């Protein structure tokens, strides 16, 4: 039985993977725009590369063309998403591509943005540029899942994480440290890649976290801090409250005294009133919708046991990182055990063991 011949060469695939690597370096850092990578070749040699600028502009194609110091006539472009074709805050990339002299373009799939979707093919082919679609399409679908959720559902892409000890505890007041320094750095990488981070007031009051990115050189990419606090019971002396700055700390609440509300507002904290159900738990879909409206596109949740359990049951997480530390915590103290392994496996069937050098710690990624 004959199989359909793959129209893309091994070199085409390698070049598109390189473009995805460039895009990956910007993932989570481009606001409303997708993170895109671009590679330009001529006579089988790479002559330029580009990636989406921080906050979403300039676009990858524009950067690759601008930074190329060779004649682009007869060259090929490999880009991870259909180029834009409409005027917005910047001119369309299709116009720049046509003017450059590029003769062929490869991209995996159409942009889901209705202003762009499918239109670039017609524009480029009309201008005698050969368009090759479908290269690494399956990789593209997974890579742009967060962008798709943002655009289609008007919701942030939600990532969860929790660390458990060797004996499955997530807390012990005798010794709180669960993971090693390598795992800690991976957490800070997640914070760097997400524009917002959410905890409950219980976690705030118990652990007094900073929730910032402490990777050298990336401190300025620390996410906005989001706290769920129904009655504004967050303690004002905790680090996040005491060091709040305008627009970087948000508390969702439902009911509180006027004096408490005024006290938090004086600390430059944005208070957002949100719905609760009959059990006095927040309507989390309402929280997500409000976060999206104020600019959150990628949300990391570092919740405690109660919050994590509730969100696992509701399948809120688009992906979830389970850290397994090799330290044994004491049960002869105030402690909390993680009992949701079966729930995690049931709700998130795609399981990926990350091949990272983390000493003896292990991290498993669960995805929808």
- Catalytic positions, written as ranges: 61
Pairing verdict, β 45-51 and 76-79? unpaired
Phi, psi angles (nearest 5°) of residue 191: -65, -40
Contacts of 3 (CB under 8 A, 6+ apart): none
Q: What is the torsion angle, in degrees rounded to the nearest 10, for the CA atoms of residue 273, residue 274, residue 276 and residue 280?
A: -40
Residue 297, CB-side half-sphere exposure with 13 Å CA sphere = 21
Look up tokens 């609760």; give the residue: 276
Contacts of 189 (CB under 8 A, 6+ apart): 215
Pairing verdict, β 249-253 and 270-273? parallel
Q: Which of 172, 237, 234 is nearest to 203 (CA)?
A: 234
**Residues of the chain by 3-state class (helix, strand, coil), percent to 5:** 30, 20, 45
Query: Whole-angstrom Cα distance, residue 45 to residue 75?
Result: 10
Contacts of 174 (CB under 8 A, 6+ apart): 329, 330, 332, 333, 335
Contact 300, 190 (CB under 8 A): yes
Distance of CA 238 to the CA centre of its chain: 27
């Amino acid at each position: 039985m004959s199989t359909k011949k793959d129209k893309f060469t091994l070199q085409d695939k390698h070049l598109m993977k390189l473009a995805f690597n460039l895009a990956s370096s910007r993932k989570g850092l481009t606001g409303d725009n997708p993170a895109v990578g671009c590679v330009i070749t001529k006579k089988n040699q790479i002559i330029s590369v580009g990636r989406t600028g921080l906050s979403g502009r300039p676009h990858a194609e524009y950067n690759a063309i601008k930074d190329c110091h060779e004649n682009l006539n007869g060259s090929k472009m490999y880009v991870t998403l259909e180029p834009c074709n409409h005027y917005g805050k910047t001119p369309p990339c299709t116009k720049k591509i046509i003017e450059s002299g590029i003769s062929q373009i490869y991209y995996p799939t159409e942009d889901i943005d209705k202003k762009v979707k499918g239109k670039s093919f017609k524009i480029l082919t009309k201008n005698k540029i050969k368009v090759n679609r479908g290269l690494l399409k399956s990789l593209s679908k997974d890579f742009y899942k967060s962008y798709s959720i943002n655009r289609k559902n008007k919701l942030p892409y939600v990532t969860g994480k929790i660390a458990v000890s060797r004996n499955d505890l997530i807390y012990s007041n005798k010794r709180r440290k669960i993971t090693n320094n390598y795992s800690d750095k991976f957490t800070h990488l997640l914070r760097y890649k997400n524009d917002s981070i959410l905890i409950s007031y219980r976690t705030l009051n118990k652990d007094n976290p900073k929730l910032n990115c402490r990777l050298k050189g990336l401190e300025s990419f620390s996410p906005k801090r989001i706290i769920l606090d129904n009655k504004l019971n967050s303690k004002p002396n905790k680090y996040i409250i005491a060091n709040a700055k305008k627009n970087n700390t948000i508390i969702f609440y439902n009911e509180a005294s006027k004096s408490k509300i005024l006290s938090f507002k004086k600390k430059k904290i944005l208070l957002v009133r949100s719905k609760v159900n009959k059990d006095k738990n927040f309507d989390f879909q309402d929280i997500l919708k409000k976060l999206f409206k104020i600019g959150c596109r990628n949300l990391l949740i570092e919740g405690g046991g109660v919050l994590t359990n509730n969100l696992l049951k509701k399948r809120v997480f688009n992906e979830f990182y389970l850290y397994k530390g090799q330290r044994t915590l004491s049960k002869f103290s105030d402690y909390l055990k993680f009992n949701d392994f079966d729930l995690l496996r049931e709700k998130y069937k795609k399981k990926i063991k990350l091949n990272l050098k983390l000493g003896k710690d292990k991290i498993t990624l669960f995805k929808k």
